[in-house]
Chains A and B, each alone.
Chain A
Amino acid sequence: MAVKVRIPTPLRKLTEGKGEVEGTGKTIGDLLEDLDGKFPGIRERLCDESGNLRRFVNIYVNEEDIRFRQGKETILSDGDEISIVPAIAGG
C-alpha cells in the first residue's frame, strides 16, 4: 500500500528536509521498516529497543491514533494519510 507520511520538524534532518514523504507497507510496522530503509535512523527515533512506540510519539492514520487501533499491526490502505506527531510535554 502506498501512503503519505507527514514528518514533524525534528525528524526532517533524516528526510532531506521533507515534511511529507511516501512510504509503503501492509501495516504501520511494515511502513516504519520501509521508511527506515529510505531514511536510516527514523525508526529508532519512533520506537524503543523492544520495538514499542515511544511514549512521546503519536502516530495517526487518517487522524486516528494507532494506539486506539491495532498499534503497529494497524492495517493500511492505499492513499491513507499517516501523521507522526510528537507529544507536547515537559516539566
Chain B
Amino acid sequence: MLKIPSDIVDEMIAHARVDFPRECCGILAGKDDGISHIYQMTNTDRSRVSYLMDPKEQIKVFKEIRTLGLELKAIYHSHPNHPAYPSTTDVELAYYPEAVYLIISINNSRETKIRGFRILDEEITEAELSFPPHHG
C-alpha cells in the first residue's frame, strides 16, 4: 500500500490540470510506504501523447533524494482524455521497477482519476494506493 498524503495528491492533480491537454510528469519520494516529497518535472516532449522528463532535472532530483536519505517511490504522469492505465509505451519504457507508476487520467471537464501500477518485465500489476489526510 502506497500512502500519498492528500496535499501531494492535490498538487499532482493541479499539475495535470495546468499542463492539460499535454501530459505532465513528476516524481514522488519518501521512506518506507510513505511519501513526503513531490517534484514536478518538465515534459520535454510537450506532447498530448507522450512524456520525457528533462534528464538534467531528473539527475538533480535523484541527487537531492539521495542527499535527503529518501527513495524514489513513484513516477507520475497524466493521460489527457485517456484511461488511467499504462500504455504500450509506458510498459516498454518502464525502467524503474522499484517505483509505482501513477497515472492521472484527466478529461475535458478536468475530472481526474488516479491509479497506480508496478510494471516489471512487461507485466502490469495494480498497486494499492491510499490518500491519508495531510497533518500540518
Contact = CB atoms under 8 A, between A and B. Distances in A.
A90 B86 CA distance: 9
Nearest to A55: B52
Interface residues of B, number: 29
A80 interface: no
Given A89-B93, A90-B94, A63 B87 contact: no
Contacts of B52: 87-89
Interface residues of A, number: 16
Nearest to B52: A89
B108 to A, nearest CB: 20
B89 A90 contact: yes
Given A8-B95, A90-B51, A85 B59 contact: yes
B2 interface: no
B53 to A, nearest CB: 4
Contacts of A63: 59, 63
With a 10 A CB-CB cut-off, give which of A60, A83, A89, A90 has the most chain B CB atoms: A90
Contacts of B55: 58, 65, 85, 87
B90 interface: yes
Contacts of B53: 87-89
B77 interface: yes
B25 A88 contact: yes
Contact of A85 (B58, B87, B90, B98): B58
A10 to B, nearest CB: 5
Given A87-B52, A87-B95, 10 more contacts: A8-B96, A58-B55, A63-B63, A85-B62, A87-B93, A88-B52, A90-B50, A90-B90, A91-B51, A91-B93
7 contacts: A85-B58, A85-B59, A89-B53, A89-B93, A91-B51, A91-B90, A91-B93
Interface of B: 25, 27, 41, 45, 49-53, 55-56, 58-59, 62-63, 75, 77, 86-90, 93-98, 101
